[in-house]
Every structure is written in C-alpha cells, then in structure tokens.
C-alpha cells in the first residue's frame, strides 16, 4: 500500500510541477523568458515540483484556517459579541465545526464512491490496485486533516491535546461513514452518497442546528460529546472497526468499475465546463428586437443591446442576492420583535457594523458574473478586431458598462440599507432614530460603486478568460485573492462608522480615477484573447 501511495504522490508531484510551469509562463514579463523545454527538463522540473509541493502544503494550512475562520470563528463572533447572545464562544465554535465537518463533511466527501479524475487516472489508466489506492487515500485524508487542522483548532480550543482528540475523532467519523457507504452498497444495493434528497435534508438540518441553536442561546457543552471520554472511546473504537472493514473489503474493483467509467468522469468534467458557460444566454425573438434602441448610437447602442439580450443573467444574479438579503433581514426583524432583550445590542451592532460590510459587499457584487457574460457573449468575438482595442473605444465601452453595472449592484445595496434602517428603527422604537444609520447606508452604496469599478477594471486590464472559459491569468487570481483577504481583514478594523465611511468614499473616488486612467493606458495592450 505504501508503494501505491508513493506512486500517487509522484503523479501529483509531476502534475503540480507542470501546473506551476504553466502559470509561470503566463506571468507578465517573466513568462516570456521561460522556454517550453522546461516541461521536459527533469532536473529543473523536479526543483519546481518541490517548490510547488511546499506551497501546496502551506496553502492547505491557510485553506483550513480560512475554513474554520469563516464557518466557526466569524459567525461565533457575531453571535456572542455583536448580537449580544451570552453563550460560551469555544463551545459554539466547536459545535459549528462538529456539525459541518464531522457530519456534513463526512457524508458529503466519500473517497471510494465518487467519480474522480485522479482515481480514474491511477486505477483505470495506470492499473493501480483499487483496494490499495482507495485505502491509502482514505488513511491519508484522515492523517492530513489532523496535521492541517491542528494549528487553527488549537487556537479555537486553547488546548493542543483537546484539539488532537477532536481531530482523531474526526478521522474516525470519516472511516465510519466510508465503511457505512460501502456496506450499504454491498449488502443493500443502496447508493446513499448519490441520494440528493438525503444530502439536502442533511445539509439543511445540520446548518440549521449549527447556527440556529447558538442564536437561540442554546449552548451545547463540548464536554457532552467531543471531549466526553465515552464519546471519544466509542468513536475511536467504531473508527478502528470501520478501518478494519475497509482494509478487508473485497469489492473495490466493482466499485471502481461503477464509478470510474469514462462516461462518469467526463460527465463531471462536462458539468464543470457547463458551470463556466452558465453565463451564456439563450435568446428569444423579443430579446433580438433592437428597434427600441434606434435613438442610441455607437457603443452605447451596442451595450444597450447586450444588457437587454442578457438581462436574465443579470436579473437572476441580482434576484438571488436580494432574496438572500431579504431572508436574513426578515430574520433580523423577527429577532428584535420576538426577543426584545437583544434590541439595544442589535442597534449597537448596526452602528458598529460598517467594517463588516466591506466583506459583505465583496460577496454581494455581481460585477464578476457580468464580466464573464460580457466576454462570452460579446467581447470574445469583437476582440479579434483591432479597432475594438483602441484606447478611445475601450474607455467609451468601460464608461457605458460601468453605468449599467452600477445600477445592478446598487439594488442589493439599497435593500441592505432599507433593512438596516427598519431593524434599527424597531430596536430604538423611534422612526427618527434612523438618522444614525445614514453614514452606514452611504458607505454601503459607495462600496457598491467600488466593487463595480474594481472587477470591471480587473477585467479590462488583466482579461483572464480564454475562449474555453478557463481563467488563465495568475495575476488576476492573485489580485482577486488579495482583495478577498483585504475585505476580510477590514472586519478587524475598530473605528466609528462615520470615519470608516469617509475612508470608503475617499478610496472609491481615488480608485475610480485610477481605474479610468489605467484602462486608457494599459487595456489596449492587455485586453485581448488568451490562449
């Protein structure tokens, strides 16, 4: 089994090296100096592979930390500090982690019963023993989770030993569910992992419990389950028994033949490709009628036609975000009505919430989706012509599109502002009290403007898409990742909403001017089709 694991690692190592070389070749200025022969240069490729492997390990640590931060720490901070609900923060974070990682994570991510491209390559193409391959991957996942989760979980619990025990239990849960899936498939002919209704009920119930119970001030003491000696012993014993069952399971080849067919693997690949083309619109005869724009000329005419013909893409993106915002807002209104004791805390939370809205508006913005639609339905064809990349044409297009995108992003922003004012008014019991929320509302609207400009600017200056809808710009990915961390980091800023809003307004004005200049100067060279 160790030999199979090492071969799998070598395969991943080579794949990582090739991917690293591919992205290095696409870095501005540096990429042109990297020859294609590097793919075949074993010595240099080995060094790149080692560096890529080290970075992948570091990225795994960061990814696990970000996961715990977003699903556990951040919601718990809001529940305990902002909403003023008095429950133990450590218990709450561990309970959320248990519901989402122990339960949802274990049932949603089986190793053996999934159509995986890497498994297909190793088992079907390279003829690796299915039993040894699957078993090595199941054990590796359990061990790697302990390693990568341990630092951030230790910060949450404040104890390395408690964290280690929890993560050993998590590995045991993964063994138990993996064995359960195979047992049901073998003895009962049940493919529970493919049952969408089961997963829907599981996700809804676990998410409701994870976040709903703490919000209702129900504290689940960690000593009752993950740190309970009886729970730990039972979990580890069942996990060990499950691992023995997995090691002795004789029908991995049958499972592989069912799940690792070329049709199933290609179906997964097709689904991924379809997700990239989801922004390509199907047009009706009414959409194709352009006579309503006879009073427009030039690129205003072109973009008016585009936005009307693809209005369903835009409207659906805005609708989904708006309905989610309305749902959260209605819950907030219900909370201050049915739980009067949280009114003062809720009002204070709203006044101090401006730094959080940087991250919220980053998520809410529809600009990136609109840019994908513009590329796939319009620019992909027009970029083949030189006149379309002239500075004046690009700046004119940018300005017209920015106005259209602003109207889309301002809708969810306006809904957020209205809901904040309603919740604050109910919390204070005074209609005139909403004046205190106006700086927040102004800041939210300017954040809508900022993210409208940001994504459109990145699209023109870095144009990351290929004709096959892949993102082929490392710089674009780096900038997007950096913006994510900056937005997330803003939540740690401690200042009044008025000062924060003034900062947002100043940054937005500066960014708009810089974006207009940058598009005019750089876009004629960078706004092009990628191969």
Which residue did the predictor score with more confidence, 186 or 13? 186
- In this predicted structure, the answer to whether residue 173 has a pLDDT above a threshold of 50 is yes
Give the sign of the dihedral formed by CA 516, CA 522, CA 527, CA 531.
Answer: negative
If asked whether residues 478 and 517 sit together in one domain, one would say yes
- In this predicted structure, the answer to whether residue 158 has a pLDDT above a threshold of 50 is yes
If asked whether residues 233 and 311 sit together in one domain, one would say no
Q: Which domain holds residue 393?
A: 295-526
Examine residue 282 and state whether it is found in any structural domain, yes or no.
no
Examine residue 284 and state whether it is found in any structural domain, yes or no.
no
Total domains in the chain come to 2
**Where does the pLDDT of residue 84 fall: very low under 50, low under 70, confident under 90, or very high at 90 and above?**
low
pLDDT at 285: 44
- In this predicted structure, the answer to whether residue 53 has a pLDDT above a threshold of 50 is yes
pLDDT at 275: 42
**Where does the pLDDT of residue 195 fall: very low under 50, low under 70, confident under 90, or very high at 90 and above?**
confident
CA pair distance 60, 48, nearest whole angstrom: 18
Highest mean pLDDT among 169-173, 364-368, 404-408, 493-497: 169-173
The torsion angles phi and psi of 284, rounded to 5 degrees, stand at -100, 170
If asked whether residues 210 and 301 sit together in one domain, one would say no
313 in Cβ contact with 373 (< 8 Å): yes
pLDDT at 413: 93
If asked whether residues 345 and 270 sit together in one domain, one would say no
If asked whether residues 311 and 245 sit together in one domain, one would say no
The torsion angles phi and psi of 165, rounded to 5 degrees, stand at -60, -45
CA-closest candidate to residue 212, choices 201, 200, 204, 202: 204
If asked whether residues 353 and 269 sit together in one domain, one would say no
- In this predicted structure, the answer to whether residue 189 has a pLDDT above a threshold of 90 is no
- In this predicted structure, the answer to whether residue 317 has a pLDDT above a threshold of 70 is yes
If asked whether residues 268 and 382 sit together in one domain, one would say no
Examine residue 173 and state whether it is found in any structural domain, yes or no.
yes
136 in Cβ contact with 53 (< 8 Å): no
pLDDT at 467: 66
Q: Each residue of 113-129: pLDDT tens digit?
A: 776 777 777 777 677 88
- Single out the residue in 275, 308, 332 at which a domain terminates: 275
| pLDDT (mean) for 205-231 | 88
pLDDT at 277: 47
Give the sign of the dihedral formed by CA 391, CA 392, CA 395, CA 397.
Answer: negative
pLDDT at 162: 92
If asked whether residues 230 and 347 sit together in one domain, one would say no
**Where does the pLDDT of residue 30 fall: very low under 50, low under 70, confident under 90, or very high at 90 and above?**
low
Examine residue 283 and state whether it is found in any structural domain, yes or no.
no
Examine residue 350 and state whether it is found in any structural domain, yes or no.
yes
Distance of CA 74 to the CA centre of its chain: 15
CA-closest candidate to residue 121, choices 260, 248, 219: 260
Examine residue 254 and state whether it is found in any structural domain, yes or no.
yes
**Where does the pLDDT of residue 283 fall: very low under 50, low under 70, confident under 90, or very high at 90 and above?**
very low
Q: How many CB atoms lie within 10 A of CB 473?
A: 22
| pLDDT (mean) for 52-56 | 78
- In this predicted structure, the answer to whether residue 137 has a pLDDT above a threshold of 80 is yes
Examine residue 449 and state whether it is found in any structural domain, yes or no.
yes
Which residues pair with residue 530 across a beta bridge? 466
pLDDT at 57: 85
If asked whether residues 243 and 299 sit together in one domain, one would say no
If asked whether residues 426 and 462 sit together in one domain, one would say yes
Which residue did the predictor score with more confidence, 18 or 475? 475
The torsion angles phi and psi of 471, rounded to 5 degrees, stand at -90, 115
Return the percentage of the chain with pLDDT > 90, whole number: 24
Burial of 340 (0-12, 13-18, 19+ CB in 10 A): exposed
If asked whether residues 269 and 307 sit together in one domain, one would say no
Which residues pair with residue 416 across a beta bridge? none
What is the residue-averaged pLDDT of the chain? 81
**Where does the pLDDT of residue 514 fall: very low under 50, low under 70, confident under 90, or very high at 90 and above?**
very high
Q: Each residue of 362-418: pLDDT tens digit?
A: 989 988 888 888 888 777 877 777 778 888 888 888 888 898 899 999 999 999 999
- Measure the N-to-C terminal CA separation of the chain; round to a whole number of Å: 40
In the Cβ-directed half-sphere of 366, how many Cα atoms lie within 13 Å?
27
- Single out the residue in 241, 275, 309 at which a domain terminates: 275
Tokens of 38: 């590097």
DSSP symbol at 222: G
Which residue did the predictor score with more confidence, 205 or 312? 205
| pLDDT (mean) for 354-364 | 89
Report the helix count and the strand count for the chain, using DSSP H and E: 24, 0
pLDDT at 100: 93
pLDDT at 445: 95
Geometric angle at alpha carbon 150, from 149 and 153, rounded to 5° = 80
359 in Cβ contact with 490 (< 8 Å): yes
If asked whether residues 148 and 261 sit together in one domain, one would say yes
- In this predicted structure, the answer to whether residue 144 has a pLDDT above a threshold of 70 is yes
Concatenated DSSP letters for 66-135?
HHHIIIIIHHHHIIIIIS---S-HHHHHHHHHIIIIIIIIHHH--SSSS--HHHIIIIIIS---HHHHHH
Examine residue 211 and state whether it is found in any structural domain, yes or no.
yes
| pLDDT (mean) for 23-46 | 65
Q: What is the pTM of this model?
A: 0.65
Which residue did the predictor score with more confidence, 325 or 338? 325
């Amino acid at each position: 089994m160790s030999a199979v694991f090492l071969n799998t690692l070598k395969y991943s190592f080579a794949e990582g090296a090739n991917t690293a070389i591919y992205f290095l070749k696409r870095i501005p200025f540096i990429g042109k100096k990297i020859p294609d022969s590097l793919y075949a240069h074993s010595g240099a490729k080995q060094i790149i592979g080692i560096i890529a492997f080290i970075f992948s390990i570091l990225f795994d640590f960061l990814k696990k930390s970000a996961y715990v931060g977003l699903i556990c720490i951040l919601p718990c901070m809001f529940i305990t500090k902002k909403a003023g609900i008095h429950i133990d923060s450590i218990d709450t974070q561990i309970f959320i982690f248990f519901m989402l990682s122990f339960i949802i994570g274990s049932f949603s991510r089986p190793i053996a019963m999934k159509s995986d491209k890497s498994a297909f390559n190793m088992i079907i193409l390279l003829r690796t023993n299915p039993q040894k391959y699957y078993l090595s991957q199941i054990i590796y996942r359990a061990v790697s989770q302990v390693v990568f989760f341990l630092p951030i979980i230790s910060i949450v619990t404040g104890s390395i030993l408690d964290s280690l025990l929890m993560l050993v239990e998590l590995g045991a849960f993964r063994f138990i569910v993996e064995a359960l899936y195979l047992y049901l498939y073998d003895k009962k002919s049940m493919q529970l992992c493919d049952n969408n209704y089961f997963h829907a009920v599981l996700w809804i119930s676990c998410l409701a419990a994870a976040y709903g119970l703490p919000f209702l001030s129900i504290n689940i003491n960690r000593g009752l389950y993950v740190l309970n000696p009886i729970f730990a012993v039972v979990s580890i014993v069942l996990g060990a028994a499950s691992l023995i069952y997995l090691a002795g399971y004789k029908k991995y080849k049958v499972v592989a033949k069912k799940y690792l067919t070329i049709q199933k693997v290609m179906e997964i690949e097709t689904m991924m490709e379809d997700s990239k083309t989801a922004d390509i619109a199907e047009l009706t005869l009414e959409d194709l009628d352009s006579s309503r724009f006879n009073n427009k000329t030039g690129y205003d005419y072109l973009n008016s036609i585009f936005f009307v013909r693809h209005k369903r893409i835009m409207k659906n993106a805005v609708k989904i975000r708006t309905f989610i915002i309305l749902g959260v807002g209605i819950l907030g209104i219900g909370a201050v009505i049915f739980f009067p004791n949280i009114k003062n805390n809720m009002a204070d939370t709203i006044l101090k919430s401006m730094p959080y809205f940087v991250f919220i508006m980053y998520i809410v913005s529809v600009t990136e989706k609109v840019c994908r639609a513009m590329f796939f339905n319009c620019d992909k064809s027009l970029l083949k012509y030189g006149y379309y990349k002239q500075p004046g044409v690009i700046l004119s297009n940018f300005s017209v599109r920015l106005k259209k995108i602003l109207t889309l992003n301002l809708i969810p922003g306006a809904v957020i502002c209205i809901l904040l004012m309603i919740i604050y008014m109910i919390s204070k019991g005074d209609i005139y009290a909403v004046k205190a929320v106006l700086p927040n509302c102004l800041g939210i609207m300017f954040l809508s403007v900022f993210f409208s400009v940001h994504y459109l600017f990145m699209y023109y200056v870095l144009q990351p898409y290929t004709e096959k809808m892949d993102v082929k710009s490392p710089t674009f990915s780096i900038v997007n990742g950096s913006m994510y961390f900056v937005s997330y980091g803003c939540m740690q800023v401690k200042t009044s909403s008025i000062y924060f809003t003034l900062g947002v307004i100043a940054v937005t004005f500066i960014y708009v001017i810089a974006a207009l200049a940058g598009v005019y100067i750089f876009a004629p060279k960078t706004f092009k089709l990628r191969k």
